[in-house]
Amino acid sequence: MKLLLLCVIAALAALAQSAEFHIPIEKFKLRNGMRVVLSRDNAVPVVAVYLMYGVGARSEQKGRSGFAHLFEHMMFEGSANAPKGMHFKLVESNGGILNGSTHSDFTDYFEVLPSNKLAVALWLESDRMRSLAITAENLANQKEAVKQERRLSFDNQPYNTAIIERWPELAFRNWQSAHSIIGSFEDLNAASVEDVAQFFKIHYAPNNAVLAIVGDIQIAEAKKLVETYFGDIAAQPQPPPPDLREPSNSVARSDVYHDPLAQVPGVIIGYPGPPRRSPDYNALVMADVLLTGGESSRFQLNLVKGKQSVVRYEANLGWPVGSASDYKDPGLYGIFILRKPNFTGKQIVDQVQEEIDKIQKDGVDPKEMQRARTYLRASRLNELQSSLNRARLLAQYEMLDGKPEWITEEIDAFVAVTPAQVQAAVKKYFVPEKRIVLEILPAPKPASPKPQAARPKEAP
């Protein structure tokens, strides 16, 4: 199995270096403003339908935190012609899968089905776009569902509260970016049916949505189905974009979070990132590959194996709720590390900065740069094997860039980055003067009450 995996990786790497690849794209817009991206691939009889709305946690207003995530749940509560439970039943009974997720700048929903069931997915998505069942009962049910999800996935899981709540509060000064993506119980409890209906009307309109369809489709037929199911849904006034500006005087900040559920100490390190699609953005994507990409990365070789100080790490532009593909400025390059207890948090921060300093002072060897390029291209080619991943990326790039063609073009932009550009961007962005650090320490366990001595029995 290991030999087979190595052969597959080698083949992908060879393809990455020796051949160009092309993903066919056809893009159009309905009269109501909904943007549609189609990509035909008849290799297997499967189709992925990906619907993205331009509303995320950063679109919320104070006192209404958690609305974007609440709506992710509300969208599965039924609509005029598809009562509660039917969405799941129709997709799963046809051998498909479905889900939804909330991000900082968008919320998305998808179905993957046999290609002859494309109309089923489009009908389901269009029916809830035009007639979601927003009732007091459904709202009350989903308020409790969100609270339960918070308890199970955040409050009762190590590190998650520090990552999802405390980290953005420390990293950002603007409330739009600094508040929790899941929201507070107080704001959820205060939400009324009227509040939710207004949020839906403003943000869940066709002119605030992107639909991507990828797989075994006929383009003309797919266009006709999209027009049939979505074409008569009324547009709404486009919601104003939130003001995401951060203060210009960014300074270093740090804090310590005591996590009662953590068994291993951790540390989060972040640096304010560049504008999306800028030359610095491209350079920091490559810097991330050099630092954290694969078994030959600097972190793996020097921190995990060399100093043996790090147990696990993850990092990227847009961490923790996104990646470089859906990164939108203002954002961060974030690193999350679990460390061995015989090292301190400060030592880990210093070791990370030491790896960064090496790039700043010595640059990047051309051979190492070529390894990073090969790794990135092979990883992306592997990712694009999935029709669902292609649909997701096409929707993201249309939503955030207005250019789904980035799905292939951005790889050329990344691999064209030179060692000198990486060095310059790392010098500019990864500096201690702007570094944000959150140390996560296991909280002391509460002392067990001492057993009381048994009273001697009285003589009869």
pLDDT digits (tens, 9 = 90+) for 86-140: 999 999 999 999 999 999 999 999 999 999 999 999 999 999 999 999 999 999 9
Q: Which two tokens stand for residue 258?
A: 């005591």
CB count within 10 Å of CB 6 equals: 10
Q: Does position 184 have pLDDT exceeding 80, yes or no?
A: yes
Mean pLDDT of 158-164: 95
Of the ranges 39-48, 150-159, 206-215, which one carries the lowest mean pLDDT score?
A: 150-159
Distance CA 456, CA 42 (A): 84
278-306 confidence digits (pLDDT tens): 999 999 999 999 999 999 999 999 999 99
Task: Give the percent of the chain with pLDDT over 70.
Answer: 92
What is the CB neighbour count within 10 angstroms for residue 442?
A: 16
Task: Compute the mean pLDDT over every residue in the chain, rounded to the nearest whole number.
Answer: 92
The helix/strand/coil state of 103 is: coil
> Which structural domains are found in the chain, ordered by start?
24-230 (3.30.830.10), 253-442 (3.30.830.10)
Assess contact for 239 and 55: CB atoms under 8 A. Answer: yes
Specify which of 21-25, 76-80, 319-323 reaches the highest per-range mean pLDDT: 76-80
Measured CA distances, 6 to 1, 121, 250, 349, 384 (Å):
9, 37, 44, 33, 19
Tokens of 33: 């403003």
pLDDT grade for 324, boundaries at 50, 70 and 90: very high
Query: What pLDDT shows up at residue 188?
Result: 87
The pLDDT of residue 154 is 81
Largest Cα–Cα separation, the chain: 97
| Nearest residue to 318 via CA among 296, 358, 288 | 288
Burial class of residue 331 (count of CB atoms within 10 Å of its CB; 0-12, 13-18, 19+): buried
What is the strand order of the sheet 107-114 is part of? 26-29, 35-40, 209-215, 46-53, 107-114, 97-102
Strands 436-442 and 253-259: parallel
Higher-confidence residue of 4 and 392: namely 392
CB 55 within 8 A of CB 74: no
pLDDT number for residue 250: 80
Q: Residue 191 pLDDT more than 50? A: yes
Q: In what order do the strands lie in the sheet with 266-272?
A: 253-259, 436-442, 266-272, 332-339, 310-317
pLDDT band at 346 (very low <50, low <70, confident <90, very high): very high
pLDDT band for position 151 (50/70/90)? confident
pLDDT of residue 267: 98
CA atoms of 295 and 301, how far apart (whole Å):
7
Find the mean pLDDT for residues 363-389. Answer: 96
Give dist(CA 457, CA 460) in Å, integer.
Answer: 9
Burial track 399-432 (b if 16+ CB lie within 10 A, e otherwise): bbeeebebbbebbeebbebebebbbbbbeebbee
Question: How far lies 261's CA from each of 154, 183, 268, in Å?
Answer: 11, 21, 17
238-254 core/surface letters (b: 16 or more CB in 10 A; e: else): ebeebebebeeeeeeee
Residue 16 pLDDT grade (very low, low, confident, very high; cuts 50, 70, 90)? very low
With a cut of 50, say whether residue 15 has pLDDT above it: no
Residues written for the chain: 460
pTM of the model as a whole: 0.91
Q: The tokens of 341 are what?
A: 């207890």
Give 374's pLDDT tier (boundaries 50, 70, 90). Answer: very high
Stated as kind and residue range, the H or E segment containing 39 is strand 35-40
Cα–Cα dist 108/392, whole Å: 9
Specify the pLDDT at position 447.
Answer: 61
Q: Are 206 and 233 in contact (CB under 8 A)?
A: yes
Tell me the pLDDT band of 24, cut-offs 50, 70 and 90: very high
Note the pLDDT of residue 245.
Answer: 95
What confidence tier does 451 reach under pLDDT thresholds 50, 70, 90?
low
Residue reference for tokens 């080698």: 10
36-48: pLDDT as tens digits: 999 999 999 999 9
Q: Which pLDDT does position 452 carry in this prediction?
A: 57
